[in-house]
Structures are given as C-alpha cells and as structure tokens.
Amino acid sequence: MDRTQPEGPSRRHVIGAAAGIAAVPAVGSAAETGRAAQSDASGKVDMTLTVNGQARRAMLDVRTSLLDALREHLDLTGSKKGCDQGQCGACTVHVDGERVLSCLILAVSVQGRRITTIEGLAEAGGRLHPMQQAFIDQDGFQCGYCTPGQILSAIACVNEGHAGSDDEIREYMSGNLCRCAAYPKIVAAIKQARPQMAVSPGTPAKVGQV
C-alpha cells in the first residue's frame, strides 16, 4: 500500500516543557504527583483555545480536559460535569461542528479547532437559538443539569439528519442521560426546533454545522 510510505519529516513538538514531566518517574498516588505537577510551572502548557469564536489563552496542566479548561479556567461553566467518564453526555460541546464529550478530550489536543459551548449559541442581541427556545417552550428540563449537553447534542442531531422520527431522535439522543427523565419533552423540543433550524441556513440556527 502506498499509504504506508513515509510521509515526510515534519513533527510538531507541542509541549517542550511538559516533556520534563516524563523524566519524573510516575510514582506515588495520582493525587500526590498531580499536585506536584500543578504547582510546578514547568508542568503547564501555554494553550490557545478557540471557544465561541474567541481565542482564549491559558497556562494549563497538560492533563487538563477540555471540560475542566472551560469550567475551571475560562469561566464557561455552562458545560456540566456529570460523570467525567464519557457515560452521561452532560459535558457535550461541539468541536468543528461535531458533538463530542469534553470530559474525554485533552484541552491541549484541540487547539486550533472551533469549540462551541452553550454560551455561544444565542445571538449577540440575546435572541436564543431555536433549540434553546424550544427547550423552554416545551418544558424540556426539570433541574436543568443535563440541559446544556442536551441542547448541544440536539442541534447536532438535527444537523446530522438524525431527527427524522421520534424513534430516530430517541436513538440519536441516547448519549445524553437525564436523571429527571424529561425525555418526552426533549423529543418535543427537537421536533419544534427542527424546521426552524432548516429554514435559516447560515444564521445562528446553524451553529454547530461543519
């Protein structure tokens, strides 16, 4: 296969400083070593993340998840941490228009990619994205903890073309758990927003599309 031929010499050595961490033998509990690295300036990485159209710069430990970067360092607490293990969907954001779980992404690895969070959906004047409005109109939540993730996931579900029927919506929204079991209302909200998203291409209704 010619795909397997050498592909050229370039190599970006992203984290010069963090390589120093590797020289420290990984011993002791995660908590001990974790704290040591946090307080050690050489363990941090100068990162730039493009979030909701803005370049945001921060010095972060190389281990920082995208979710923790957003919540703990960039003051964007809309994305929620439910499980931190990829099991609940509360941390769903868009990267380059695709829905992903920010708890299982290293912040350092998505520099230069387009990140969209719940805070980036409304228009500048405050007008909500049709999906946000639909969740309000249809009462698509109770406690609201899962809601930012549900809304980001729901927008992608429509943009992917996976919101054709109630069953399809349920299947393609199954990655977002809701402890309050607002599921029927979430399906209703997606059905309300679906036609509104389709009629206005290029407007903020399309946020999240590639």
Partner 1 sequence: MRPFAYDRAETTALAARHPTAQGQTDAKVQFLAGGTTLLDLMKLDVLRPERVVDITPLKARHSGIEVGPDGLRLGGLAAMAAVADHPAVKRDYPAIAEALQLAASPQLRNMATLGGNVLQRTRCPYYRDPSWAACNKRTPGSGCAAIGGFNRQHAVLGVSERCIAQYPGDFAVALAALDAEVELVGPGGARRISILDLHTGSDRPHIEHSLRPGEVIVGFRVPAAPWARRSTYLKIRDRQSYEFAIASAAVALDLDGGVVRHARIGLGGMAYKPWRAKAAEAALVGKPLTEDTATAAARLALEGAVGHGHNDYKVELGRRTVVRALLAASATEV
Closer Cβ to ligand FES, 82 or 204, answer by number: 82
Residue 183 burial by Cβ neighbours in a 10 Å radius (0-12, 13-18, 19+): middle
CA–centroid distance for 50 within its chain: 12
Rounded distance between C-alpha atoms, residue 101 and residue 167, angstroms: 23
Q: Which does 182 bind (CB under 5 to 8 A by kind): partner 1, ligand FAD, ligand FES, none?
A: ligand FES
Tokens read off for 86 = 């990829």
Q: Does 152 bind ligand FES (CB under 6 A)?
A: no
Q: Does 124 bind partner 1 (CB under 8 A)?
A: no
Rounded distance between C-alpha atoms, residue 66 and residue 78, angstroms: 13
Q: Does 104 bind partner 1 (CB under 8 A)?
A: yes
User: Mask of contacts with ligand FES, 83-122, x by CB under 6 A?
Assistant: xx-xxxxxx---------x-x-------------------
Q: Does 59 bind ligand FES (CB under 6 A)?
A: no
Rounded distance between C-alpha atoms, residue 183 and residue 76, angstroms: 26
Site residues for ligand FAD, 86-105, by CB under 6 A, read 86-87
* Distances from the Cα of 57 to the Cα of 20, 38, 70, angstroms: 22, 17, 11
Q: Which stretch binds partner 1 (CB under 8 A): 12-20, 115-123, 133-141, 192-200?
A: 12-20
Rounded distance between C-alpha atoms, residue 93 and residue 86, angstroms: 12
Rounded distance between C-alpha atoms, residue 53 and residue 114, angstroms: 7
Q: Which does 18 bind (CB under 5 to 8 A by kind): ligand FAD, ligand FES, partner 1, none?
A: partner 1
Residue 61 CB coordination number (10 Å): 19
Closer Cβ to ligand FAD, 105 or 131, answer by number: 105
Q: Does 187 bind ligand FES (CB under 6 A)?
A: no
User: Mask of contacts with partner 1, 56-95, x by CB under 8 A?
Assistant: ------xx-x------------------xxx--x--x---
Residue 101 phi, psi (nearest 5)? -100, 115
Say which DSSP state 105 is in: S
Closer Cβ to ligand FES, 21 or 101, answer by number: 101
Which chain residues interact with ligand FES by CB under 6 A?
81-84, 86-91, 101, 103, 141-147, 178-180, 182
